[in-house]
Amino acid sequence: MADIGNSNRIAREYIDSLRIETRYMDATHPETTFELYGGRFASPIMTAALSHLDHFMFPGAADALARGAAAANAVLWYGMASDEEIERLAAFGAKMIEIVKPYADREKIAKKIARAEALGLLAVGVDIDHPFSGDGGADVVDGEAMAPLRTDELAQICRGTRLPVIAKGVLSRRDAERCRAAGARGLVLSHHNNRIEYAVPPLAALPEIAAVAGDMDLFVDCEIKTGMDAFKALSLGAKGVCIGRPLMTAIKQGGADAVRDYLLRANDELKKAMAYTGCADLSQMDPTVIHRI
């Protein structure tokens, strides 16, 4: 019973409950290339914003993620890291999106975003879902206190940089509307690896959020593991998806080459699903091909 409220399990069960309707007539070989914030990429399947890989895994793990993403021409997302680590990862050539924690010291957020801009990163984001600890008090990560982000503060962040700003950790229409009002260019639908139990599965929240997103780009993580998972998310309104823990396993098994191969294989699975449903390219993704049992 201890696992009953685990949000990862709930999200996985929801993804697996979605079925795909096939559409063969007039279908063609699909194209998965897409554009994001001025960059052109091989696939909408990207890395998740992992953090502290060298600490939690082994020295060089973060480099392997960055090198693998560059080799697959995939967007590299990365989370909490030192300025020196971000600079090193950006040098591997993958277009990079840095996700910054909601530091109580707001000046630290501003400095990290300014550095990301100076490095020419693709975009920058803020973890809106990381202000609280397990007892609802203020979270402290690596000795740094966190604090909830207000709508006016997010608006100030968006106005203060040339980079697109993404809010990560959105699972409600309410937060989506406030992030849009603040000027966010994108949202990551995520429960941050079971940060709260019984969280709404990102794919379950996706259609309602897509209905109010306007021109914001929507991204999904949490239990996205395959190209078939990606297809379901993209059909329901996502711009792209982020794969996390499977890439950590790939790093352990074969480093950068294994990361590259995993991303390429997932994209081939996406192409298969698109071919079998009559989607010639990403602009033709259609929510009506998805059915829940």
Catalytic residues: 192
Residues with Cβ < 8 Å from 134, sequence gap 6 or more? Answer: none
Residues with Cβ < 8 Å from 233, sequence gap 6 or more? Answer: 202, 203, 206, 220, 224, 241
Query: What distance in Å separates the CA atoms of residue 176 and residue 189, rounded to the nearest whole number?
Result: 10
What the block records as the tokens of 247 is 């890439």
Q: Is 73 left (phi over 0), alpha (psi -120 to 50) or beta?
A: left
Q: How far is CA 288 from CA 11, 202, 206, 221, in A?
A: 20, 18, 14, 22
What the block records as the tokens of 65 is 């993620």
At 167, give phi and psi (nearest 5°): -100, 125
CA angle 75–69–56, rounded 5-degree value:
105
Burial class (CB in 10 A: 0-12, 13-18, 19+), 189: buried
Q: How far is CA 235 from CA 152, 218, 275, in A?
A: 32, 12, 13
- Amino acid identity, position 228: M
Tell me the helices (H) and strands (E) count for the chain, helix number first. Answer: 10, 14
Query: What distance in Å separates the CA atoms of residue 90 and residue 161, rounded to the nearest whole number?
Result: 18
